[in-house]
Amino acid sequence: MAQKLILLVEAEPSIVNRVEDCLTSSDYDFFNAIDGAEGIRKVFEIYPDLIIVDLALPLMSGIQLVRTLNFLKLQVPVIFIGEHSEFTKNKVKLPHVKDTCVNHMISEELEAKVEAVLNDPRGFEDIKLELEPEEFLGFLSREDRKKILIASDGPTARNLFNQLDTLGYYELYIATDGREALFKAISIQPDLIIASTDLTILEGKKLAKLLYILGHSLPLIFMQLNQDPITQEQLSKLEGVVGFWSTGQALNERKFLFDEVQKAVSLNARMLKNLNNAYKEIDTMNLKAGMGSNDILDDPTLFQEFDDVDLD
């Protein structure tokens, strides 16, 4: 049998030890992440067969972590662990959560539960990503043009696309909701993302956060219909955010649009490099500092909406 990879997302060292002690079989290869963001990144890095997640993680809760993974279309099976009180408090039903185990029963029960989940054949679904013909042609052309992803509602995105397309020197991509924007941003790695704050499915703020959590901090300009200083302040703390536009101005003032895009794109070549270097040094402390401790990942409502999202 091939070795099974198990990822434990748990901050408390004593619990980590307890879990490690009970999963001694040489059939298992064991990994540990200490918070939700690291957990998500590790899931993509090692692609485990099973994730054991503490319900009460710092920064991003276990539930948020699982929701996020579901949102990102991964169906890796999950076992929740935690104190008894947390289980009574959090009675959510989440897809792909196969079992639970209270902390004081780990030594007695966890091994059998792990074995049962791993032996239970899980479903795999292919994931599809679509590109419009003109986007694919952009993808095929030589890479001497700057790539720009425009994420907004259909008419706005199309309008900006057409305006910028007349210049001929950008490779342009379109996304009409936040999830599409996320996936396209990661696979295309644009030099600039222009995104509405009020994207459907995954709003602009969350898009920026998820990109950051996944390690793809791409330069991003937000567009807002009515400029709102409070939101702007919040957003400007996010890694990668380089500017704010009023949607009306972008749509109606051609000169503004062209000048700003050009400015952003030339500025970003340098910034992107810095960001990538910074990413290499990311640890949890960084994550906290970069995102503002009481802001981004602490927000309990942050990933709740992922629930409503169609997870097909």
Partner 1 sequence: MAIDLKAILIGQPTETMGALEDSKVKVIEVADCLQGIRGIIRHRPDFVLCRVELEGLNGLSMARILLMLKINIPLIMTAPEHKPAHEKIVENLPNVVGYWAEAGIYYDLKRFVEKFKRPSSNKRDKPQTPYSFKFIEHEWANLLEKSNKKRILLIEKDELTRKAILTKLNKIPGLQLFTCQDGLEGLLKALFIKPNLILTEIDIPEINGLALAQILYVLGKPIPLVFVTANEQKEVKRKATNIEGVVGFLHKSRLPRRGFLAMALAQYLQKSERLQSAIGESYEKARVDNLETEKDSII
Which of residues 91 and 142 has its CB atom nearest to partner 1 in the complex? 142
Query: Considering beta carbons, is residue 276 or 304 the nearer one to partner 1?
Result: 276
Selected binder of partner 1 within 44, 105, 273, 292 (CB under 8 A): 44
Task: Give one DSSP letter per residue of 186-230, joined into a string.
Answer: HHH--SEEEEETT-SSS-HHHHHHHHHHTT----EEEEESS--HH
C-alpha to C-alpha distances, 36 to 3, 53, 184, nearest whole angstrom? 24, 9, 23
Please report where in the chains the tokens 């409503």 appear, as a residue.
Answer: 308
Distances (CA, A) of 12 to 18, 53, 77: 10, 12, 22
74, 67 Cβ separation under 8 angstroms: no
Number of residues that bind partner 1 (CB under 8 A): 34
Degrees to nearest 5, angle at CA 290 with 289 and 294: 60
279 binds partner 1 (CB under 8 A): yes
Q: How far is the CB of 18 from partner 1 (least distance, A)?
A: 28
Q: Is 50 helix (H, G, I), strand (E, B) or coil?
A: strand
Smallest distance from partner 1 to CB 111, Å = 25
299 backbone dihedrals φ, ψ, rounded to 5°: -55, 110
We find the least distance from the C-beta atom of residue 143 to partner 1, in angstroms, to be 9
Out of 24, 25, 187, 304, the residue judged to bind partner 1 by CB under 8 A: 187
Per-residue interface string for the shown chain with partner 1, residues 140-179, x marking contact by CB under 8 A: xxx-------------------------------------
Q: To the nearest whole angstrom, how small is the minimum distance from the Cβ of residue 136 to partner 1?
A: 5
Residues in 62-81 at the binding interface with partner 1, rule: CB under 8 A: 72-75
Does 133 bind partner 1 (CB under 8 A)? Our answer is yes
Question: What is the binding site for partner 1 (CB under 8 A)?
Answer: 2, 41, 43-45, 47, 72-75, 124-134, 136-137, 139-142, 183, 186-187, 214-216, 279
